[in-house]
Structure 1
Amino acid sequence: MTLAERLCAALSQTGGATPIEGDDYDRAAGDYRPAAVLVAVTDRSEPGVLLTLRQTNLRRHAGQIAFPGGRVDPEDADAEAAALREAEEEIGLDPALVEVVGATDIYRVGTGFSVTPVIGVVPPDLPLMPHEAEVAAIFEVPLMFLLQGSNHLQRSTEWEGRTRSFHEILWEDRRIWGATAGMIVNLSRRLRPLLA
Protein backbone atom coordinates (compact mmCIF):
# COMPACT_ATOMS: atom_id res chain seq x y z
CA MET A 1 0.00 0.00 0.00
CA THR A 2 1.36 3.43 -0.94
CA LEU A 3 1.74 6.24 1.60
CA ALA A 4 -1.15 8.12 -0.04
CA GLU A 5 -3.36 5.02 0.25
CA ARG A 6 -2.39 4.55 3.91
CA LEU A 7 -3.18 8.20 4.70
CA CYS A 8 -6.50 8.01 2.86
CA ALA A 9 -7.45 4.79 4.68
CA ALA A 10 -6.55 6.29 8.05
CA LEU A 11 -8.67 9.38 7.34
CA SER A 12 -11.65 7.28 6.32
CA GLN A 13 -11.43 5.08 9.44
CA THR A 14 -11.67 8.08 11.76
CA GLY A 15 -14.39 10.08 10.08
CA GLY A 16 -16.12 10.51 13.44
CA ALA A 17 -13.10 11.88 15.29
CA THR A 18 -13.95 15.02 17.25
CA PRO A 19 -11.61 17.84 16.23
CA ILE A 20 -10.45 20.60 18.50
CA GLU A 21 -11.38 24.01 17.18
CA GLY A 22 -9.46 27.24 17.13
CA ASP A 23 -10.59 29.92 19.55
CA ASP A 24 -13.83 31.49 18.34
CA TYR A 25 -12.66 35.03 19.25
CA ASP A 26 -16.35 35.98 19.57
CA ARG A 27 -16.97 35.69 15.82
CA ALA A 28 -19.90 33.99 14.12
CA ALA A 29 -18.97 31.17 11.73
CA GLY A 30 -19.91 33.32 8.72
CA ASP A 31 -17.45 36.04 9.75
CA TYR A 32 -14.42 33.94 8.84
CA ARG A 33 -12.66 34.20 5.50
CA PRO A 34 -11.69 30.92 3.82
CA ALA A 35 -8.03 29.89 3.79
CA ALA A 36 -6.11 26.69 3.14
CA VAL A 37 -2.77 25.14 4.02
CA LEU A 38 -0.89 22.24 2.48
CA VAL A 39 0.16 19.45 4.82
CA ALA A 40 2.88 18.08 2.53
CA VAL A 41 3.95 14.60 3.67
CA THR A 42 7.21 13.34 2.20
CA ASP A 43 7.07 9.85 0.69
CA ARG A 44 9.96 8.10 2.38
CA SER A 45 10.36 5.07 4.67
CA GLU A 46 9.90 7.41 7.64
CA PRO A 47 7.60 10.13 6.26
CA GLY A 48 8.03 13.74 7.28
CA VAL A 49 5.92 16.89 7.10
CA LEU A 50 7.18 20.08 5.45
CA LEU A 51 6.87 23.22 7.58
CA THR A 52 8.02 26.79 7.17
CA LEU A 53 9.49 29.37 9.49
CA ARG A 54 7.84 32.68 8.66
CA GLN A 55 9.89 35.86 8.34
CA THR A 56 10.04 37.98 11.49
CA ASN A 57 8.89 41.18 9.75
CA LEU A 58 5.47 39.94 8.60
CA ARG A 59 2.28 41.60 9.86
CA ARG A 60 0.64 38.33 10.88
CA HIS A 61 2.17 35.29 12.56
CA ALA A 62 5.67 36.76 12.25
CA GLY A 63 8.47 34.35 13.15
CA GLN A 64 6.05 31.47 13.67
CA ILE A 65 6.16 27.98 12.24
CA ALA A 66 3.42 27.27 9.73
CA PHE A 67 2.27 25.06 6.90
CA PRO A 68 2.56 26.74 3.52
CA GLY A 69 -0.80 28.36 2.80
CA GLY A 70 -2.98 31.42 2.85
CA ARG A 71 -6.38 32.77 1.94
CA VAL A 72 -8.56 31.28 -0.78
CA ASP A 73 -8.54 33.84 -3.61
CA PRO A 74 -11.49 34.36 -5.99
CA GLU A 75 -9.56 32.69 -8.82
CA ASP A 76 -9.00 29.52 -6.75
CA ALA A 77 -11.45 26.74 -7.60
CA ASP A 78 -11.47 25.51 -4.00
CA ALA A 79 -9.34 25.04 -0.86
CA GLU A 80 -7.19 22.42 -2.57
CA ALA A 81 -6.34 24.79 -5.42
CA ALA A 82 -5.51 27.55 -2.91
CA ALA A 83 -3.26 25.27 -0.84
CA LEU A 84 -1.35 24.13 -3.94
CA ARG A 85 -1.01 27.70 -5.26
CA GLU A 86 0.24 29.02 -1.92
CA ALA A 87 2.74 26.15 -1.56
CA GLU A 88 4.12 26.93 -4.99
CA GLU A 89 4.39 30.64 -4.14
CA GLU A 90 5.89 30.18 -0.66
CA ILE A 91 8.24 27.22 -1.07
CA GLY A 92 8.47 26.59 -4.82
CA LEU A 93 6.57 23.29 -4.66
CA ASP A 94 5.35 22.28 -8.13
CA PRO A 95 1.63 21.36 -7.79
CA ALA A 96 2.16 18.55 -10.32
CA LEU A 97 4.40 16.80 -7.75
CA VAL A 98 1.67 16.71 -5.06
CA GLU A 99 -0.59 13.67 -4.80
CA VAL A 100 -3.57 15.16 -2.95
CA VAL A 101 -5.06 12.77 -0.38
CA GLY A 102 -7.89 15.04 0.77
CA ALA A 103 -8.91 17.77 3.17
CA THR A 104 -9.33 17.39 6.90
CA ASP A 105 -10.93 19.33 9.78
CA ILE A 106 -11.36 23.08 9.32
CA TYR A 107 -9.59 25.20 11.94
CA ARG A 108 -10.61 28.77 12.80
CA VAL A 109 -7.90 31.26 13.80
CA GLY A 110 -7.98 34.57 15.63
CA THR A 111 -6.94 36.53 12.55
CA GLY A 112 -10.39 35.78 11.10
CA PHE A 113 -9.64 32.84 8.81
CA SER A 114 -11.32 29.45 8.56
CA VAL A 115 -8.44 27.21 7.47
CA THR A 116 -8.84 23.95 5.54
CA PRO A 117 -5.77 21.69 5.85
CA VAL A 118 -5.21 19.79 2.58
CA ILE A 119 -3.08 16.66 2.88
CA GLY A 120 -0.79 15.75 0.02
CA VAL A 121 2.09 13.34 -0.55
CA VAL A 122 5.26 14.69 -2.16
CA PRO A 123 8.54 13.08 -3.25
CA PRO A 124 11.36 13.39 -0.69
CA ASP A 125 14.30 15.78 -0.97
CA LEU A 126 12.77 18.18 -3.48
CA PRO A 127 14.86 21.29 -4.31
CA LEU A 128 12.45 23.72 -2.65
CA MET A 129 13.03 27.47 -2.59
CA PRO A 130 11.60 29.73 0.13
CA HIS A 131 9.92 32.97 -0.96
CA GLU A 132 12.34 35.46 0.63
CA ALA A 133 9.70 38.00 1.64
CA GLU A 134 7.58 35.46 3.52
CA VAL A 135 9.60 32.36 4.42
CA ALA A 136 12.84 32.34 6.40
CA ALA A 137 13.32 28.55 6.26
CA ILE A 138 11.78 25.26 5.14
CA PHE A 139 12.28 22.16 7.26
CA GLU A 140 10.87 18.69 7.76
CA VAL A 141 9.58 17.08 10.95
CA PRO A 142 8.98 13.32 11.20
CA LEU A 143 5.28 12.57 10.75
CA MET A 144 5.20 10.01 13.57
CA PHE A 145 6.73 12.54 15.99
CA LEU A 146 3.99 15.04 15.12
CA LEU A 147 1.23 12.44 15.50
CA GLN A 148 2.42 11.20 18.91
CA GLY A 149 0.06 12.56 21.56
CA SER A 150 2.80 12.70 24.19
CA ASN A 151 4.47 15.46 22.12
CA HIS A 152 1.34 17.68 22.23
CA LEU A 153 1.78 20.04 25.16
CA GLN A 154 -1.18 22.04 26.47
CA ARG A 155 -0.39 25.67 27.29
CA SER A 156 -2.31 28.81 28.21
CA THR A 157 -1.65 32.54 28.32
CA GLU A 158 -3.46 35.77 29.04
CA TRP A 159 -4.22 37.74 25.88
CA GLU A 160 -6.65 40.63 25.39
CA GLY A 161 -8.11 40.08 28.86
CA ARG A 162 -8.86 36.38 28.37
CA THR A 163 -7.10 33.14 29.11
CA ARG A 164 -6.25 31.47 25.81
CA SER A 165 -5.39 27.78 25.63
CA PHE A 166 -3.22 26.42 22.85
CA HIS A 167 -1.07 23.45 21.92
CA GLU A 168 2.69 23.46 21.58
CA ILE A 169 5.00 20.89 19.99
CA LEU A 170 8.76 21.12 20.55
CA TRP A 171 11.01 19.52 17.95
CA GLU A 172 14.76 20.03 18.12
CA ASP A 173 15.16 23.83 18.36
CA ARG A 174 11.74 24.54 16.82
CA ARG A 175 8.59 25.63 18.69
CA ILE A 176 5.41 24.73 16.83
CA TRP A 177 2.41 26.32 18.52
CA GLY A 178 -0.93 28.02 18.01
CA ALA A 179 -2.99 27.25 14.92
CA THR A 180 -0.31 25.06 13.32
CA ALA A 181 -0.02 22.89 16.43
CA GLY A 182 -3.83 22.79 16.73
CA MET A 183 -4.14 21.52 13.16
CA ILE A 184 -1.46 18.90 13.86
CA VAL A 185 -3.34 17.73 16.96
CA ASN A 186 -6.52 17.41 14.86
CA LEU A 187 -4.56 15.53 12.21
CA SER A 188 -3.14 13.17 14.84
CA ARG A 189 -6.69 12.28 15.90
CA ARG A 190 -7.62 11.52 12.30
CA LEU A 191 -4.45 9.55 11.52
CA ARG A 192 -4.35 7.41 14.67
CA PRO A 193 -4.50 4.18 12.62
CA LEU A 194 -1.00 4.97 11.32
CA LEU A 195 0.33 4.76 14.89
CA ALA A 196 -1.06 1.25 15.42
Structure 2
Amino acid sequence: MSLADRLRAALDRTTGHAPIQGDDYDKANDHYVPAAVLVAITDRPHPGLLLTLRQPHLRRHAGQIAFPGGRVDPEDQDVIATALREAREEIGLDPDRVDIVGMSDTYRVGTGFVVTPVIGVIPPDLALAPQEDEVAAVFETPLSFLLEPGNHSLQSVMWEGRERRFHEIMWEDRRIWGATANMIVNLAQRLQAAGL
Protein backbone atom coordinates (compact mmCIF):
# COMPACT_ATOMS: atom_id res chain seq x y z
CA MET A 1 0.00 0.00 0.00
CA SER A 2 1.35 3.45 -0.92
CA LEU A 3 2.14 6.15 1.62
CA ALA A 4 -0.80 8.19 0.34
CA ASP A 5 -3.18 5.24 0.71
CA ARG A 6 -1.95 4.48 4.24
CA LEU A 7 -2.36 8.11 5.30
CA ARG A 8 -5.76 8.39 3.64
CA ALA A 9 -7.00 5.26 5.43
CA ALA A 10 -5.64 6.48 8.78
CA LEU A 11 -7.22 9.93 8.43
CA ASP A 12 -10.56 8.42 7.37
CA ARG A 13 -10.81 6.35 10.55
CA THR A 14 -12.74 7.73 13.47
CA THR A 15 -10.33 8.06 16.37
CA GLY A 16 -10.87 8.56 20.06
CA HIS A 17 -8.15 11.13 20.58
CA ALA A 18 -8.98 14.51 22.10
CA PRO A 19 -7.32 17.13 19.88
CA ILE A 20 -5.74 20.32 21.08
CA GLN A 21 -8.40 22.76 19.93
CA GLY A 22 -6.48 26.02 20.09
CA ASP A 23 -4.53 28.54 22.05
CA ASP A 24 -5.58 29.03 25.66
CA TYR A 25 -5.97 32.75 25.11
CA ASP A 26 -8.75 34.09 22.90
CA LYS A 27 -8.57 37.50 21.29
CA ALA A 28 -11.14 36.60 18.65
CA ASN A 29 -14.23 36.55 20.88
CA ASP A 30 -15.30 33.38 19.06
CA HIS A 31 -15.33 35.12 15.67
CA TYR A 32 -12.70 33.22 13.73
CA VAL A 33 -11.64 33.72 10.11
CA PRO A 34 -11.24 30.42 8.18
CA ALA A 35 -7.68 29.56 7.15
CA ALA A 36 -5.78 26.51 5.93
CA VAL A 37 -2.24 25.17 5.88
CA LEU A 38 -0.68 22.47 3.71
CA VAL A 39 1.01 19.65 5.59
CA ALA A 40 3.14 18.33 2.71
CA ILE A 41 4.66 14.88 3.32
CA THR A 42 7.37 13.61 0.98
CA ASP A 43 6.83 10.18 -0.56
CA ARG A 44 10.09 8.42 0.22
CA PRO A 45 11.03 5.31 2.26
CA HIS A 46 11.52 7.57 5.27
CA PRO A 47 8.95 10.34 4.65
CA GLY A 48 9.61 13.93 5.61
CA LEU A 49 7.40 16.91 6.29
CA LEU A 50 7.98 20.30 4.63
CA LEU A 51 8.15 23.34 6.88
CA THR A 52 9.02 26.97 6.28
CA LEU A 53 11.05 29.46 8.26
CA ARG A 54 9.31 32.82 8.11
CA GLN A 55 11.31 35.98 7.47
CA PRO A 56 12.31 37.89 10.63
CA HIS A 57 10.77 41.20 9.48
CA LEU A 58 7.18 39.96 9.12
CA ARG A 59 4.42 41.57 11.19
CA ARG A 60 2.97 38.21 12.33
CA HIS A 61 4.93 35.15 13.48
CA ALA A 62 8.26 36.65 12.41
CA GLY A 63 11.12 34.16 12.36
CA GLN A 64 8.89 31.24 13.32
CA ILE A 65 8.59 27.83 11.72
CA ALA A 66 5.26 27.25 10.00
CA PHE A 67 3.37 25.33 7.39
CA PRO A 68 2.63 27.17 4.15
CA GLY A 69 -0.85 28.58 4.46
CA GLY A 70 -3.14 31.51 5.12
CA ARG A 71 -6.67 32.82 5.20
CA VAL A 72 -9.40 31.48 2.93
CA ASP A 73 -9.99 33.94 0.09
CA PRO A 74 -13.50 34.46 -1.37
CA GLU A 75 -12.42 32.89 -4.68
CA ASP A 76 -11.15 29.71 -2.99
CA GLN A 77 -13.51 26.79 -3.55
CA ASP A 78 -12.66 25.27 -0.16
CA VAL A 79 -9.86 24.91 2.39
CA ILE A 80 -8.01 22.50 0.10
CA ALA A 81 -7.90 25.18 -2.60
CA THR A 82 -6.63 27.66 0.01
CA ALA A 83 -3.84 25.36 1.19
CA LEU A 84 -2.73 24.60 -2.37
CA ARG A 85 -2.86 28.26 -3.43
CA GLU A 86 -0.88 29.39 -0.41
CA ALA A 87 1.74 26.66 -0.91
CA ARG A 88 2.17 27.75 -4.52
CA GLU A 89 2.49 31.40 -3.50
CA GLU A 90 4.84 30.81 -0.56
CA ILE A 91 7.13 28.00 -1.72
CA GLY A 92 6.38 27.51 -5.44
CA LEU A 93 4.78 24.07 -4.94
CA ASP A 94 2.81 23.03 -8.02
CA PRO A 95 -0.70 21.97 -6.87
CA ASP A 96 -0.70 19.22 -9.51
CA ARG A 97 2.16 17.52 -7.64
CA VAL A 98 0.13 17.22 -4.41
CA ASP A 99 -1.99 14.14 -3.68
CA ILE A 100 -4.50 15.31 -1.07
CA VAL A 101 -5.12 12.50 1.44
CA GLY A 102 -7.33 14.22 4.01
CA MET A 103 -7.51 16.77 6.77
CA SER A 104 -6.47 16.86 10.39
CA ASP A 105 -8.16 18.58 13.34
CA THR A 106 -8.94 22.28 13.02
CA TYR A 107 -6.99 24.58 15.31
CA ARG A 108 -7.90 28.04 16.63
CA VAL A 109 -5.16 30.63 16.98
CA GLY A 110 -5.43 33.64 19.25
CA THR A 111 -4.88 35.99 16.32
CA GLY A 112 -8.40 35.14 15.17
CA PHE A 113 -8.10 32.28 12.67
CA VAL A 114 -9.48 28.75 12.68
CA VAL A 115 -6.96 26.71 10.70
CA THR A 116 -7.61 23.47 8.82
CA PRO A 117 -4.47 21.38 8.25
CA VAL A 118 -4.76 19.82 4.77
CA ILE A 119 -2.58 16.72 4.44
CA GLY A 120 -0.96 15.97 1.09
CA VAL A 121 1.73 13.67 -0.26
CA ILE A 122 4.30 15.07 -2.67
CA PRO A 123 7.17 13.55 -4.66
CA PRO A 124 10.55 13.83 -2.94
CA ASP A 125 13.17 16.43 -3.86
CA LEU A 126 10.93 18.82 -5.78
CA ALA A 127 12.55 22.06 -6.91
CA LEU A 128 10.80 24.71 -4.83
CA ALA A 129 10.96 28.50 -5.12
CA PRO A 130 10.35 30.22 -1.77
CA GLN A 131 8.76 33.67 -1.92
CA GLU A 132 11.70 35.63 -0.50
CA ASP A 133 9.69 38.45 1.08
CA GLU A 134 7.87 35.97 3.32
CA VAL A 135 9.89 32.74 3.48
CA ALA A 136 13.51 32.65 4.62
CA ALA A 137 13.90 28.87 4.09
CA VAL A 138 12.05 25.66 3.27
CA PHE A 139 13.28 22.48 4.94
CA GLU A 140 12.24 18.87 5.41
CA THR A 141 12.01 17.24 8.82
CA PRO A 142 11.71 13.45 9.25
CA LEU A 143 8.05 12.58 9.75
CA SER A 144 8.94 9.80 12.19
CA PHE A 145 10.76 12.32 14.40
CA LEU A 146 7.84 14.76 14.39
CA LEU A 147 5.28 12.07 15.16
CA GLU A 148 7.22 10.56 18.08
CA PRO A 149 5.49 11.62 21.34
CA GLY A 150 8.82 11.64 23.16
CA ASN A 151 9.89 14.59 21.00
CA HIS A 152 6.86 16.71 22.01
CA SER A 153 7.70 18.91 24.97
CA LEU A 154 4.91 20.80 26.76
CA GLN A 155 6.11 24.29 27.72
CA SER A 156 4.56 27.25 29.52
CA VAL A 157 5.29 30.96 29.68
CA MET A 158 3.66 33.97 31.30
CA TRP A 159 2.23 36.23 28.60
CA GLU A 160 -0.01 39.25 29.15
CA GLY A 161 -0.49 38.22 32.77
CA ARG A 162 -1.60 34.65 32.00
CA GLU A 163 0.15 31.32 31.75
CA ARG A 164 0.28 30.16 28.15
CA ARG A 165 0.96 26.49 27.46
CA PHE A 166 2.21 25.17 24.13
CA HIS A 167 4.14 22.30 22.61
CA GLU A 168 7.70 22.59 21.40
CA ILE A 169 9.60 20.22 19.13
CA MET A 170 13.35 20.69 18.72
CA TRP A 171 14.87 19.24 15.56
CA GLU A 172 18.56 19.94 15.02
CA ASP A 173 18.80 23.72 15.48
CA ARG A 174 15.13 24.33 14.60
CA ARG A 175 12.55 25.22 17.24
CA ILE A 176 9.03 24.26 16.17
CA TRP A 177 6.51 25.60 18.66
CA GLY A 178 3.09 27.11 19.19
CA ALA A 179 0.33 26.49 16.66
CA THR A 180 2.58 24.57 14.25
CA ALA A 181 3.80 22.19 16.95
CA ASN A 182 0.28 21.76 18.33
CA MET A 183 -1.04 20.84 14.88
CA ILE A 184 1.79 18.32 14.52
CA VAL A 185 0.91 16.84 17.93
CA ASN A 186 -2.75 16.57 16.86
CA LEU A 187 -1.73 14.78 13.66
CA ALA A 188 0.61 12.46 15.58
CA GLN A 189 -2.13 11.51 18.02
CA ARG A 190 -4.61 10.97 15.24
CA LEU A 191 -2.27 8.75 13.21
CA GLN A 192 -1.18 6.84 16.30
CA ALA A 193 -4.82 6.24 17.34
CA ALA A 194 -5.49 4.94 13.82
CA GLY A 195 -2.55 2.53 14.08
CA LEU A 196 -0.23 4.19 11.55
User: Residue 127 of structure 1 corresponds to which residue in structure 2?
Assistant: 127
Q: Give the CA deviation at 1:90.
A: 0.3
The residue aligned with 1:146 is: 146
Matched, 1:74 2:80: no
Percent identity between the two aligned chains: 69
Aligned residues: 195
- Residue 49 of structure 2 is matched in structure 1 by 49
Cross-structure match for 2:5: 5
Cα distance, 1:133 vs structure 2: 0.5
Q: Secondary structure at the match of 2:121?
A: strand
Q: Secondary structure at the match of 2:45?
A: coil
Structure 2 counterpart of 1:117, one-letter code: P
Instruction: Say whether the 8 Å CA contact 1:147–1:188 is kept in structure 2.
Output: yes
Q: Quote the Cα distance in structure 1 between the aligned partners of 2:29 and 2:11.
A: 28
Q: Report deviation, 1:142.
A: 0.5
How far residue 195 of structure 1 moved from its aligned partner, in angstroms, is 6.8
Alpha carbons 2:24, 2:164 under 8 Å: kept = no
TM-score calculated relative to the size of structure 1: 0.96
TM-score between the two structures when normalised by the length of structure 2: 0.96
CA distance in 2, matches of 1:76, 1:171: 34
Aligned-residue offset at 1:23: 1.6
Equivalences for residues 59-70 of structure 1 within 5 A = 59-70=59-70
Indicate how the Cα distance of structure 1 residues 194 and 146 shifts in structure 2: closer, same or farther if over 3 A, else same: farther
Tell me what 1:19 maps to. Answer: 19
Unaligned runs of 5+ in 2: none
1:118 aligns with 2:114: no
Q: Is 1:169 aligned to 2:157, yes or no?
A: no
RMSD between aligned residues: 1.3
Q: Following the alignment from structure 2 to structure 1, what is the Cα–Cα distance between the partners of residues 70 and 180?
A: 13
CA contact (8 A) 2:16 2:193 kept: no
What displacement does 1:102 show?
1.1
Counterpart amino acid of 1:141? T
Given the superposition, is the C-alpha separation of residues 82 and 111 from structure 1 closer, same or farther in structure 2, using an over 3 Å criterion? Answer: same
Tell me the secondary structure at the aligned position of residue 58 of structure 1: coil
Aligned-pair CA distance for 1:25: 2.6
- Code of the residue aligned with 1:25 in structure 2: it is Y
1:184 counterpart residue number: 184
Mapped contact 1:52–1:138 kept (Cα < 8 A): yes
